[in-house]
């Protein structure tokens, strides 16, 4: 399950289509944050997308564009961790000072990034939870360090630093 609450960034449309989660097939996606310098800072990244993807964006927002970038790479069969790491680092390079917490799930795993924004994780043998902040007072919540990628599923939670992650192999 993926849930999101939207507080629209100034200048972004406030419509149902602009609210996460965005989805396709088994994938659900959400963005918590803002792309600084929107939309001009990321026009180069947007230009690399197929025209049909741009013409069918759910809304003219930073989150919808981030979803299009992620979705395009997922369609090639790329590893979800590599997809999020690549999109976040490329967007951060194009739009410094952006807050880029991306959250992706296929129903069995969760991939998320913490980039200049709070993120917490909690997992055990039956559950994996990732949230902007802890949803209760359970002491097993762990804050995800800034500029880290989380891969979580029941029985498994791993955080790796984004800056040192090799996007071709996924190894640090």
**73 CA to centre of own chain:** 13
CA angle (89, 93, 98) in 5-degree steps: 85
Q: Does the residue 2 lie in any domain?
A: no
Give the total number of structural domains in the chain.
Answer: 1
Q: Does the residue 166 lie in any domain?
A: no
Which residues share a beta bridge with 128?
123
- Residue closest to 15 by CA, chosen among 71, 54, 63, 68: 63
Q: What is the pTM of this model?
A: 0.87
Q: Does the residue 63 lie in any domain?
A: yes
Q: Does the residue 1 lie in any domain?
A: no
Instruction: Give the model's pLDDT for residue 169.
Output: 44
Q: Is the pLDDT of residue 165 over 50?
A: no
Instruction: Give the model's pLDDT for residue 130.
Output: 93
CATH number of domain containing 106: 3.60.20.10
Instruction: Give the model's pLDDT for residue 98.
Output: 97
Residue 115: domain span: 18-161
């Amino acid at each position: 399950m993926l849930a999101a609450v939207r507080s629209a960034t100034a200048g972004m449309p406030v419509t149902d289509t602009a609210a996460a989660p965005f989805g396709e097939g088994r994938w659900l996606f959400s963005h918590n944050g803002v792309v600084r310098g929107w939309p001009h800072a990321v026009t180069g990244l947007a230009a690399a997308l197929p025209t049909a993807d741009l013409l069918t964006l759910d809304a003219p927002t930073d989150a919808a564009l981030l979803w299009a970038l992620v979705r395009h790479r997922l369609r090639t069969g790329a590893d979800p961790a590599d997809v999020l790491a690549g999109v976040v680092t490329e967007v951060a390079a194009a739009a410094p000072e952006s807050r880029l917490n991306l959250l992706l799930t296929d129903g069995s795993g969760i991939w998320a990034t913490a980039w200049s924004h709070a993120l917490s994780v909690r997992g055990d043998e039956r559950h994996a939870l990732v949230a902007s902040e802890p949803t209760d007072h359970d002491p097993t919540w762990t804050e995800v360090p800034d500029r880290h990628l989380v891969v979580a599923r029941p029985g498994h939670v791993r955080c790796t630093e984004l800056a040192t992650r090799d996007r071709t192999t996924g190894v640090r």
